[in-house]
Structures are given as structure tokens and as C-alpha cells.
């Protein structure tokens, strides 16, 4: 008996890239921070040195034109808001009992 495998295609081009000026790695970092991950968690997840992480944040602030990390993350949340509604409401996506 031949099994048909279900394939999932993920198109990240539209909603994943926050801004054309940012690299994909920078977009990943900002999405994680906007979702509530800590700096240390993002570094561990991406296997990134803290100094590299901090330099990426500095580069992103310069590209976006924000003065601090809080306003950078607020900018990212505004960019994500239309595409990913889970950012500010994690409690609505809990597991069913």
C-alpha cells in the first residue's frame, strides 16, 4: 500500500521579513524579542554570542532609526501586528484539555 505524504509549504517572504533594510536573521531576532523572548533566550536559540547579538541590535536600531531597544521592539510589534495576531495574546493559543 502506497502512502501519500502530506507536505507543508512555508512561504516566509511576505510576512516574515519585517523591513527590506533588515536581513532575515535580524527579522528573526526582532520577531523573537517582540514575542517576549529574553536576550539570553534569543542568543541561546540562535547559538549567537552575546556581543554579536548586541551589535546586531545596534545595527537594527541604526537601520530603523530608533534610539533604544524598547522602541525597536515596539516598532517590530507594530510591523508584525497585521500578520501575526498571536504576539500580544499568547493566552488565547493554549492547548486544549
The per-residue pLDDT for range 35-83, each reduced to its tens digit, is: 999 999 999 999 999 999 999 999 999 999 999 999 999 988 888 875 5
pLDDT above 70 covers a percentage of the chain that reads 66
Query: Could you tell me if 64 and 77 are in contact, meaning their C-beta atoms sit under 8 angstroms apart?
Result: no
Domain boundaries, the chain: 19-82
Q: Which fold has domain 19-82?
A: Arc Repressor Mutant, subunit A (1.10.10)
Distance CA 76, CA 73 (A): 5
Distance CA 34, CA 75 (A): 9
Distance CA 66, CA 70 (A): 9
Amino acid at each position: 500500500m502506497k502512502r501519500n505524504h502530506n507536505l507543508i509549504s512555508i512561504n516566509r517572504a511576505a510576512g516574515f521579513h519585517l523591513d527590506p533594510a533588515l536581513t532575515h536573521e535580524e527579522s528573526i531576532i526582532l520577531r523573537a524579542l517582540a514575542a517576549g523572548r529574553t536576550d539570553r533566550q534569543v542568543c541561546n536559540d540562535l547559538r549567537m554570542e552575546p556581543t554579536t547579538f548586541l551589535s546586531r541590535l545596534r545595527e537594527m536600531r541604526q537601520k530603523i532609526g530608533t534610539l533604544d531597544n524598547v522602541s525597536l521592539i515596539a516598532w517590530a510589534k507594530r510591523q508584525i501586528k497585521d500578520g501575526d495576531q498571536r504576539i500580544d495574546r499568547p493566552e488565547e493559543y493554549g492547548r486544549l484539555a
